[in-house]
Amino acid sequence: MGRDAVDRGRAVERYVEAYLVRRGYEILARNFQSRFGEIDLVAEDGGVLAFIEVKYRGPQAYGSALESVSRRKRMRLVRTGRYYLAKTGTAKACRFDIVTVDNDSGRYLLRLYKNAFNLNDL
Amino acid sequence: MLAKTYSAILQGVEGRLVQVEVDVSRGLPVFELVGLPDAAVRESRNRVRAAIKNSGYQFPLGRVTVNLSPAGLRKVGAGLDLPVALGILAAIGAFSKDTVTRIASFGELSLDGTVRAVVGILSKVEALGRASRWKAVYVPPANLMEAELSAGIRLQAATSLRDVVDGILAGCPASPGRKREPTLLAPASTGNVGDFADIWGQALAKRAMEIAAAGGHNVLLIGPPGVGKSMLASRMPGILPPLNRQEALEVTRIHSAVGVLQGGSPVTTRPFRAPHHTTTPVGLLGGGPEPRPGEITLAHRGVLFMDEFAEFRRDVIDGLRQPLEDGVVVLSRRSMSFRFPARVMLVAASNPCPCGQWGFADERCTCHAGARHRYRQRLYGPVTDRIDLQVRMSPPTAGEMHNGAVESSSDIRKRVVAARLRQRERWARQEALTNAEVPSGGLEAGCEVAASTVRLLRKLVETVGLSARGYHRLLRVSRTVADLDGCEGVEDRHVYEALHYRLENG
């Protein structure tokens, strides 16, 4: 992944963050890292803790962005999420949201999937 | 956020009460189901999640733990979907937790929340115990008729998850438009099995069937192909006394548990089961890792017909010995044993030899002497030894073929019912219902054999060379013939008739 790609990724995450704030999310952490992986955004939405994965797909991508969150990626998110709960001592109901960003000929197309998967889907 | 509700599962053909505990707590989203669930129960997680969502409720975020207790009991089947869903909804406060602990429910959920039928509802509802403990008992609409046979418990039809929740919120009113009277079992008919009047000739075999029905004896029919062995056997339920309420409930429980109940309505006619001769011991007697009843249990209180008896596997036939004596199949597994009722009347039919002609049209028999010998050896074993009535059937003559006046099944049944009544009174102290069930010990004393007939029997033992068992069989059959005759004592003519129903082997 080149520098450009990383920059574009960060740009997209900021764009998504602004969108979520407009939807009433309160952002608690960005790019939260553990030795298992990274969670793009941690936010609170109506008393529920949401771990948010932002998935950007270029115009030539094959398949939907949602499909590209693999089982392995989900495992990483869950482990990191568990670590977040332990580290911050949070005791709330949690869910995993996925925001897909598709590049529709230059325009960003955002889709928010609340509670996109749970631990049974691993 | 803990909620408890109740349901029941099947263990063999019996119901067991199950407590469904649901805990919803904070944490990562996961839905766990513990308490020895089988695959169908574990998959209920997916059905329950979708059904809750599609019924317009929110599936809880965070950790959902469902415990099915007693934990040591294996939970099989999909019937726990509804109680699990209700427990979850109660745990998230959709309705009062105190209410849901006084509710029992049954049903498989479809993804849209519709409640589907379950197997064995009668046994399950009976496992709930005292009616006063329950505020409401929800059963799938398709199971309602069967469930209502269990007297005293107030039942509600559960059409859909939404419907049940609305009902609970409204204080569990009785479902509208249904009478709450216990369902009466339909008056017993001879069933749609055909009538004895359909069979031409075969007077001796018909009489043997009548005696067998009257005394609860097993029958062996031997004859060439096409002579009417199967026709006779399949008409046997029609001449047996109608099922009484208790028996009908027993049969309904079994058929429901196995899932062979016709249209969800109770069984009112005696079962007739005819397993194929390639069947295995498990198929006939029941078994498997999660023991299921076999054909002999499905034939409980009815007729088990084994056509081509000599072609059945040796282990299958030998396995019949104990159930035929005890009327029950006992299967032991690691942690428990299962009892499957198996009080049947066995009707065995066989050709006399592999081609079927030997003894009737010897010149047409194409079998080697050796083949005939092996066939006979398979036919006459320890089980045939326990068959009280053995009859040879010959093809009807042209004269018999269109012989007008033949008796209908219901005429024969009247005599059978009368003869059974006499037996029940006579053997009340032995706790037997029929002559066939009386233990050999008390048989001689209870049979009321006339003094002159005792002498006849003694003479027969010497001249015919009857074994002790053969003697008892003869006595039993004679007693039944006398009962059909309406006689208090067994007389010479009854013994002479009984002598017809034994073959050279015994």
Query: At B445, is the pLDDT very low, low, confident or very high (cuts 50, 70, 90)?
Result: confident
Residue B506 pLDDT: 42
Residue count (chain B)? 506
Of residues B31, B45, B61, nearest to A95 (C-beta): B61
Does A89 touch chain B if contact means CB atoms closer than 8 Å?
A: no
Beta bridge mates, B369: none
C-alpha distance from A59 to closest chain B C-alpha (Å)? 33
* B178: pLDDT strictly greater than 60: no
Q: Which residues of B touch A48 (CB under 8 A)?
A: 61
Residues in chain B whose beta carbon is closer than 8 A to a beta carbon of chain A?
26-31, 45, 60-62
pTM beyond cutoff 0.90: no
Does A114 touch chain B if contact means CB atoms closer than 8 Å?
A: no
Can you give the three-state secondary structure of A82-98, one letter per residue?
A: HHHHHHHCCCCEEEEEE
pLDDT tens column, B246-304: 899 999 999 999 988 877 788 888 999 999 999 999 999 999 888 899 999 999 999 99
**Inter-chain Cβ pairs, chain A and chain B, closer than 8 A:** 37
Query: At A64, is the pLDDT very low, low, confident or very high (cuts 50, 70, 90)?
Result: low
C-alpha distance from B32 to closest chain A C-alpha (Å)? 8
C-alpha distance from A121 to closest chain B C-alpha (Å)? 9
Residue A66 pLDDT: 66
Residue A57 pLDDT: 77
Q: Which residues of A touch B28 (CB under 8 A)?
A: 78, 81-82, 85, 94, 118-119
Beta bridge mates, A103: A108
Residue type, A37: G
Q: Which residues of A touch B43 (CB under 8 A)?
A: none
* B7: pLDDT strictly greater than 90: yes
Residue B504 pLDDT: 58
Residue B360 pLDDT: 75
What does the radius of gyration of chain B's CA atoms come to, in whole angstroms? 28
- Is the separation of the CB atoms in B435 and B426 below 8 Å? no
* B215: pLDDT strictly greater than 80: yes
Residue B105 pLDDT: 97
Interface mutation target, options A90, A120, A121, A122, chain B, most CBs of B under 10 Å: A120
Of residues B26, B28, B60, nearest to A81 (C-beta): B28
Query: At B186, is the pLDDT very low, low, confident or very high (cuts 50, 70, 90)?
Result: low
Whole-angstrom distance, CA of residue B93 vs CA of residue B355: 73
Residue B190 pLDDT: 46
CB atoms within 10 A of CB B90: 26
- Is the separation of the CB atoms in A55 and A68 below 8 Å? yes
Q: Which two tokens stand for residue B385?
A: 């030894």
Give the start-end residues of each E strand in B12-119.
Answer: 14-25, 30-34, 63-69, 103-105, 108-109, 115-116
Mean pLDDT of B50-69: 93
Residue B396 pLDDT: 76
pLDDT tens column, A10-20: 888 888 999 99
Residue B201 pLDDT: 82
Q: Which residues of A touch B53 (CB under 8 A)?
A: none
Residue count (chain A)? 122
Residue B52 pLDDT: 96
B42's CB contacts (< 8 A; 6+ apart) are: B33
DSSP per residue, B429-455 = GGT-SSGGGS-HHHHHHHT-B-HHHHH
Residue A28 has φ and ψ, to the nearest 5°, of -105, -30
Residue B209 pLDDT: 95
Q: Which of B39-53, B389-403, B416-430 has the lowest mean pLDDT?
A: B389-403
Mean pLDDT of B444-468: 85
Does A82 touch chain B if contact means CB atoms closer than 8 Å?
A: yes
Inter-chain CB proximity B28 and A78 less than 8 Å: yes
- Is the separation of the CB atoms in A77 and A51 below 8 Å? yes
Inter-chain CB proximity A93 and B31 less than 8 Å: no
| Nearest Cα residue to B149 out of B78, B76, B243, B236 | B243
Residue B186 has φ and ψ, to the nearest 5°, of -60, 145
Mean pLDDT of B53-78: 90
Q: Which residues of B touch A115 (CB under 8 A)?
A: 29, 61
* B192: pLDDT strictly greater than 80: no
Mean pLDDT of B88-106: 93
Residue B177 pLDDT: 45
* B318: pLDDT strictly greater than 80: yes
Residue B444 pLDDT: 82
Inter-chain CB proximity A91 and B61 less than 8 Å: no
Residue B136 pLDDT: 92
Mean pLDDT of B118-139: 93
Residue A63 pLDDT: 64
B141's CB contacts (< 8 A; 6+ apart) are: B115, B157, B158, B159
C-alpha distance from A21 to closest chain B C-alpha (Å)? 21
* A65: pLDDT strictly greater than 90: no
- Burial string for A56-89 (b: 16+ CB within 10 Å, else e) reads bbeeeeeeebeeebeeeebebbbebbbbbbeeee
Q: Which residues of B touch A94 (CB under 8 A)?
A: 26-29, 61-62
Inter-chain CB proximity B29 and A81 less than 8 Å: no
* B495: pLDDT strictly greater than 60: yes
Query: At A55, is the pLDDT very low, low, confident or very high (cuts 50, 70, 90)?
Result: confident
**Cα B75 off chain centre by:** 23
Cα(first)–Cα(last) distance of chain A, in Å? 27
* B183: pLDDT strictly greater than 70: no
Average pLDDT over chain B, rounded to whole? 88
* B125: pLDDT strictly greater than 50: yes
Inter-chain CB proximity B30 and A118 less than 8 Å: yes
pLDDT tens column, B130-165: 888 999 999 999 999 899 888 778 899 999 999 999
Q: What's the DSSP call for residue B397? A: P
